[in-house]
Amino acid sequence: MSNRKLINQLIQLQELIVARIQKKASMANPSLDALDANIKLLSTDLPMRVKSHLNDLLKKNPEAMVPIVDGHCTGCGMEVKSSLINEIHHAKELHRCLNCTRYLYIPSEIVAREHASRVYGEKRQVGIARFSTEPLMVTPLTGTTPEDVLGQLCSRMQSQGFVEDGSQLLDLALQREAIISTAVDSGMAFPHVRGVEGGGLSMALGIHKKGIHFGGPGRTLTRIFFFMVIPTATSAFYMKLISGLSQTFRQKDVREALLAAESEEELWKIVVRETRTTIQ
């Protein structure tokens, strides 16, 4: 197996492991058989030394593969020598951080740094406003495919200055969905792109009134899309956000309020009101 292929396989494996954690957080009685089978399949042909170290890392943190940003390991903040960064660029072999021993890779940087830093650096932001804002509410979504829906959410993030390249973000989101769908029961989905560095955790919310097939459980149509861009450094906040959103919108009447919103302003007011106690 080539090292570039191995790096991609480890990133996909990590996504599945995080998806398993997410599913347990977002569903009351999750079925994990398919995820466990896929995790086992992706783990089967890993070199024994890699598999052993990966398992040791995952016992401590779901982030075993982390990107290098601004010359630093995003797992522990340790500076990485330029010679090592060059070797990682060439992907001739798998490299680990000398401090935290996480595996390292080079990320895609598509977050608009200045805008994200300005928005999330304000201390007055609390609750859901730490991660989103009214301009990132999108209703109604149109189209009939995941690409249609995610494309509109990515375009909104770009137009509002939260990412620099909406098309690239869409490609990464579709690649993530191809690993395993982020749709859960109750007509919700949590599509996301992880390891995108440069800003804060950002969330757009889209409502599709009719719903589309998003690869979720059975033939359930997905109508509510929580789309997130997640830098590695904010992974812990991401799991708390997922947990808070799931706790809030597991209730049918609250989901129906979202679906009934007639404007993006109204949608934002509902999200702020309903998450006031679940997202701190």
pLDDT of residue 1: 55
Cis peptide before 217, with omega less than 30 degrees from 0? no
For the chain, what is the domain count? 2
User: Do 25 and 142 fall into the same domain?
Assistant: no
Q: What is the CATH number of the domain that holds 63?
A: 1.10.287.1490
User: Do 83 and 117 fall into the same domain?
Assistant: no
Residue 246: give the domain boundaries.
113-274
Q: What is the distance between the terminal CA atoms of the chain, rounded to a whole angstrom? A: 44
The answer to whether position 280 is within a domain reads no
d(CA 74, CA 79): 9
Tell me: pLDDT of 115 over 70: no
Between the CA of residue 261 and those of 98, 234, 242, 254, 269, what are the distances in Å? 51, 30, 22, 11, 10
For the full predicted model, state whether its pTM sits above 0.85: no
pLDDT of residue 117: 44
d(CA 76, CA 24): 27
Q: What is the CATH number of the domain that holds 183?
A: 3.40.930.10
User: Do 31 and 134 fall into the same domain?
Assistant: no
51-83 burial: b if 16+ Cβ within 10 Å, else e = eebbeebeeeebbbbbbbbeeebbbeeeebeee
pLDDT of residue 55: 87
Cβ-contact 2, 47 below 8 angstroms: no
Closest CA to 261 of 209, 200, 184, 203: 209
73 vs 152, which has greater pLDDT? 152
Residue 36 is which amino acid?
D
Percent of the chain with pLDDT over 90: 41
Q: Tell me how many degrees the CA angle 95-101-103 measures, rounded to the nearest 5.
A: 40
pLDDT tens digit sequence for 231-264? 766 666 777 888 889 889 989 999 999 999 999 9
The answer to whether position 279 is within a domain reads no
What value does the mean pLDDT take over residues 28-50?
84
Per DSSP, 140 falls in state S
- Among residues 105, 124, 150, which one ends one of the domains? 105
Cβ-contact 255, 188 below 8 angstroms: yes
pLDDT of residue 159: 93
**For 2-16, 74-88, 162-176, which range has the lowest pLDDT when averaged over its residues?**
2-16
d(CA 99, CA 153): 38
pLDDT tens digit sequence for 189-232? 999 987 665 567 899 999 999 999 998 656 689 999 999 998 76
